[in-house]
Amino acid sequence: MARVKYTDSDVALVARMIRAEAEGEGQQGMLYVGNVIVNRAIADCLDFKEVRTIPQVIYQVQGGNYSFEAVQKGNVFYNRARGVEKRLAKKTLDFWREHPAKYALWYFNPYAPCPPTWYDQPFSGQFKQHCYYEPIANTCDSVYRG
């Protein structure tokens, strides 16, 4: 059973996002970004209580801006999804989860060492240039179950 309900257009949307956000970090980096997207769709906590679908995750606005820089700036997010990214997107939607993004709800590239917290949430690990953060224990059980 898939981790989250999705359509073919959702697969293409995740594929475009993982390419735009992490193409330079290879397939593993794109899988980690896809994992964060899926985690946000299943999280019933914090900033993600009303976010249940892939489009809601991708186009979520927080603080007046889109949550993902690739949507905000456009860059390659508006390019068509390619086959390799579609396969990676489907993999994360269906089953794939791995540390440091296994339970992560946030990631960013600080262009410096990863800070120990991000908006008071603990650092879970780093892959290449991206730092990953998961919710504080007992604040988002749905992510740890999903």
Q: How does pLDDT run across 53-82, given as a tens digit for each residue?
A: 999 999 999 989 999 988 988 766 778 889
138 within a domain of the structure (yes/no): yes
- Determine the pLDDT at residue 75: 67
SS (H, E, C) 60-81: CEECCEECCHHHHHCHHHHCCC
Residue type present at position 55: P
β 117-118/106-108 pair status: unpaired
Alpha carbon of 109 to those of 54, 69, 97, 106, 133: distances in Å? Answer: 22, 11, 20, 11, 12
DSSP assignment, residue 25? Answer: G
Minimal CA–CA distance to 84: which of 10, 18, 32?
A: 18
Minimal CA–CA distance to 6: which of 72, 52, 51, 50?
A: 52
Per-residue pLDDT at 38 exceeds 90: yes
Note if the pTM is more than 0.85: yes
Q: How does pLDDT run across 106-130, given as a tens digit for each residue?
A: 999 999 999 999 989 999 999 999 9
Longest dimension (CA), the chain: 39
Mean pLDDT confidence for 1-22: 94
36 within a domain of the structure (yes/no): yes
Mean pLDDT confidence for 86-106: 97
113 within a domain of the structure (yes/no): yes
Q: Which residues form the domain of 21?
A: 8-145
2 within a domain of the structure (yes/no): no
1 within a domain of the structure (yes/no): no
Average pLDDT, the chain: 93
**Total of domains in the chain:** 1
3 within a domain of the structure (yes/no): no
Range from 44-53, 81-90, 112-121, 137-146 carrying the lowest mean pLDDT = 137-146
- Residue 143's pLDDT band, with cuts at 50, 70 and 90, is very high
- Determine the pLDDT at residue 76: 62
SS (H, E, C) 90-141: HHHHHCCCCCCCCCCCEEECCCCCCCCEECCEEEEEEECCEEEECCCCCCCH
Task: Report the SS3 class of residue 53.
Answer: coil
State what percent of residues in the chain have pLDDT above 70. Answer: 98
